[in-house]
Structure 1
């Protein structure tokens, strides 16, 4: 052996396997925390909740997806594929198996086809001027926790975007939000730049390249302040309608055509998992506030029956002349459709949810964990293009090693701010709604049921997540003193309290975007410890 050969380092060990999937099969994976996997599509076609995996290229990083741990996802193929799953060395995935129980996937794609027909009809109505509705499908996905709502929302959104639509994604789940951190509700148009297998695979990734409208609810538990949630739903519906407003005087202008496309694309709403008692009432309020015309119920017969019964009574009431004043022309009675649960749906325990929320907040400040761009992809052979034993000698594939977690870097670097107590004003949203028994007969509460309670800065705020009010909202509040000017306005962003120095009266904040745009912050009950 010559000296040059003896000095070469041995190739790194692989820790994974290759899977060959038949048509309409899926590979289901559960990856634990502190473990990364890389997914590489070798041949065929496959998708993760509707987001297609890149086909073979000469650049290993463009066809290999590094997926962070603490996630549960499935790789589905319509026509068959071969995919490599590599785990960082010394670790392993919790669950990995192939399933042919994919009847739900067929039901989902059929649902997407029906929504596309509604979009085509809405666009045709808009261009023909026949006076019919130009609204595309306004879809609300509902069901109990752990029934696959979020997965279906991702899939329907991805399918719509692939066909050139720009649907508005609305996430009403304050426990874990796809567009922002926990404790918020948000809405954003989705474009091709926002769709990625990485985002769809992780339970705590945020949609990239979006500029969502975010309203601060301040809690992961909607029962703490349902009046606040209802008011924010009404505001969100108003903002969506204003966004889709067509100028009748100049309907042919280019910007008007853009609005027509957005309006016909519709909205896709991810509902919360609370379907009992007040949760059910909030669901009905969501349908009214957002003018939902399609409700997709995920595998829950009782909820499907309750909703069907409720809206059938409303249809019967339309025929009653005495009900004309209650059901005005703008009232939308939605169609309720029941869909089967996917066989890959799994129950998430309290620990999994807590870790997912923590990772979601971390991604808000630091972004995704990515490969260091200053270091090349690690190959298991000095020649990056190498044949696989037993395969066609002319077939070349990549053999990329999943990097260990310790070698990854974050996309962003947040800023630490030290601000005197006197420069900030903190408020907490409180519910002061009175029961009907405490009010005079036939009287309604005159004051706003949501009030602002001033908060002193104390050591108990450490690790709290705070919402930074938009400068325009802060100015309006200074002039009016109305609490709704703050809690019904989109926030500028979020910060977290890193340290509170009571002696020096200095608070240290972690900010994703430098200095604060306003001095008014809203406090909730969401905390995060890095």
Structure 2
């Protein structure tokens, strides 16, 4: 070996064993679903080589890689499809022709007829048990509404445990004006998280702040009623949105009381015309028909897809954590840069909702819709998610309760000795001189 060759070998970069995911190929016939469950700690990359394929009703572009995390997905093949996927983790995938997509097509066409025949579009409430495919159905119906014409349906999320254009803990109503972000765990970005090319209309947000509806049912009813009133105002002032209709995703039936009072309030407040039941058989639809047939015009059952996965508490916590992180930092396709500021504790006023978990209901019967002041200390606020309201900082509890939500902030540090705190905001700027409401959610970076 010459001296020149020896020098060249020494100058070669040192090789590190960087794991590389092996790409795998799947061929799908029309009408098939490719299903996979992606845990929070895993990452899946998919690419459609050729053919027409949909994810949550959104058509996937050919030759573009999509990164999926913390989600259960089913890619539906409209045409002959060649799909490539890769992951560093061992993910279990299945292909099935047993899908409920034909029923969803029929429901979509029925909603289209309603939009064409009246200036008042469809108003549907999607109900079902936990992990019955309610949210997936809503995503597909919203996506399909955008395909044929420039409709702008309002998607309403009434489940505080799931975030839709917001972190968990809130009830939201968002006009869907563009394609959904299939890589997002919370439907996509909104104006509250900074600049974005999607959803140029501000989401309507009401704070519930607790994890379970049972912790404060009167407060949940109050937030639901306020959101319905806001949605009604948007429908009256926007003819396109009114014709596009409202699609409401209800909480799991297990979170409601035995008489389904929350559903009755939602049907009444939102003027629901159609009840869509996600269930494997007719028993639940018959039960709800006996209860609500006088309040709605029609009740439709959509069979639960066999690809639906049960979400346990660990997976739900992981999804909530992912949604909080995405709100501030974005995802692979939309990277956001949050802003940390320091403020004096005296400049902050924080309220919180009451919870039956912290109140002895046998000794007192407080007004559960009233907010209570929170002492600004590290024990109460460290790593807490707070809602920044439109109400001025010195507003009363009732004014704060009725106020809309300007955005969400994360209190990353509270120093009791120096009387200072650090707050993470989704956009640069000073902390608004507004009252804040403490939520039950915490996030430690």
| TM-score normalised per structure 2 | 0.87
Structure 2 stretches of 5 or more lacking a match? 191-197
Corresponding residue number in structure 1 for 2:373: 454
Cα distance between partner residues in 2 of 1:438 and 1:290: 36
The 1:427/1:14 distance shift into structure 2, 3 A limit, reads closer
Q: Distance in 2 between matches of 1:438 and 1:120?
A: 56
C-alpha deviation, 1:279, in angstroms = 7.5
| Residue matched to 1:169 | 155
Written as runs of structure 1 = structure 2, the 5 A alignment for 1:457-476 is 457-460=376-379, 461-470=381-390, 473-474=391-392
Q: How does 1:344-423 map to 2 (within 5 A)?
A: 344-370=307-333, 411-423=335-347
User: Contact 2:123/2:245 (CA < 8 Å) preserved in 1?
Assistant: yes
Distance 1:268 1:177 in 2: 16
Could you say what the CA RMSD is over the residues aligned between the two structures, in angstroms? 2.9
Q: Would the aligned equivalents of 1:235 and 1:488 in 2 still touch at CA under 8 Å?
A: yes
Which residue number corresponds to residue 70 of structure 1?
A: 70
Give the Cα separation in 2 of the matches to 1:23 and 1:359: 33
How big is the shift at 1:162? 1.4
1:237 aligns with 2:228: yes
Partner of 1:266: 245
Tell me, in whole angstroms, the C-alpha distance in 2 between the residues paired with 1:153 and 1:289: 19
Q: Which runs of 5+ in 1 are unaligned?
A: 57-62, 123-133, 247-258, 315-331, 371-409, 440-444
Residues in 2 aligned to 1:9 and 1:167: alpha-carbon distance in whole angstroms: 55
Alignment correspondent of 2:404: 490
Q: Which of the two has higher C-alpha Rg?
A: 1
Following superposition, the deviation at residue 489 of structure 1 comes to: 2.3
CA displacement, residues 270-311 of structure 1 (integer Å, 9 cap, x when unaligned): 111134525721111111111111111101644322220123
What displacement does 1:55 show?
2.6
3-state DSSP of counterpart to 1:428: strand
- Name the SS of the counterpart of 1:140 in structure 2: strand
Q: Give the 3 Å change call, closer, same or farther, for CA 438–356 of structure 1 in structure 2.
A: closer
Offset of residue 496 of structure 1: 1.3
CA distance in 1, matches of 2:225, 2:25: 50
Aligned 8 A contact 1:22 1:79 in 2: yes
Instruction: Summarize the Cα distance change of 1:426–1:278 in structure 2 as closer, same or farther, 3 Å threshold.
Output: farther
Correspondence for 1:206: 188
**What residue is the counterpart of 1:23 in the other structure?**
30
SS at match of 1:244: helix
Which of 97, 110, 117 is 1:114 aligned to?
110
Q: Which residues in structure 2 correspond to 1:76-475 (within 5 Å)?
A: 76-87=76-87, 91-102=88-99, 104-122=100-118, 134-163=119-148, 164-192=150-178, 194-199=179-184, 202=185, 204=186, 206-208=188-190, 209-210=198-199, 211-245=202-236, 259-275=238-254, 276-277=256-257, 280-299=260-279, 301-312=282-293, 314=294, 333-370=296-333, 411-430=335-354, 449-460=368-379, 461-470=381-390, 473-474=391-392
